[in-house]
């Protein structure tokens, strides 16, 4: 997690957590609140960190899985792009 990699500048964990949560977009806050079965602001720091770690791991795995299954096929070009590509090939 990023908090482990970056210095905390002397802030207590609860302050770091509060600043982190308050800096999130509203849709991400709602996701964290749903994972906390209410609101993240009432769970203890350790539980909040576990929730954030779990969601971050799940999101990373989902993005990694999506990248591996890209569709392959022909690229459709407009006439101008096709001509530019052919000219580049001819000049090489």
CA 36 – CA 16 distance, rounded (Å): 18
Domain contains 7: no
The vertex-47 CA angle with 3 and 10, nearest 5°, equals 35
Mean pLDDT of 31-58: 87
CA 49 – CA 47 distance, rounded (Å): 5
Give the count of domains, the chain: 1
Domain contains 40: yes
Domain contains 79: no
Enclosing domain of residue 19: 12-52
Domain contains 78: no
Is residue 77's pLDDT more than 70? no
CA 91 – CA 22 distance, rounded (Å): 56
Dihedrals phi, psi of 57, to nearest 5 degrees? -65, -45
Domain contains 33: yes
Q: What is the pTM of this model?
A: 0.55
25 vs 75, more confident: 25
């Amino acid at each position: 997690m990023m908090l482990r990699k970056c210095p905390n500048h002397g802030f207590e964990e609860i302050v770091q957590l509060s600043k982190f949560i308050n800096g999130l977009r509203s849709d991400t806050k709602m996701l964290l609140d749903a994972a906390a079965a209410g609101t993240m602001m009432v769970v203890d720091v350790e539980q909040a960190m576990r929730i954030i770690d779990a969601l971050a791991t799940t999101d990373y795995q989902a993005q990694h899985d999506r990248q591996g299954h890209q569709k392959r096929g022909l690229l459709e070009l407009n006439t101008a792009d096709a001509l530019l590509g052919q000219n580049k090939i001819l000049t090489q």
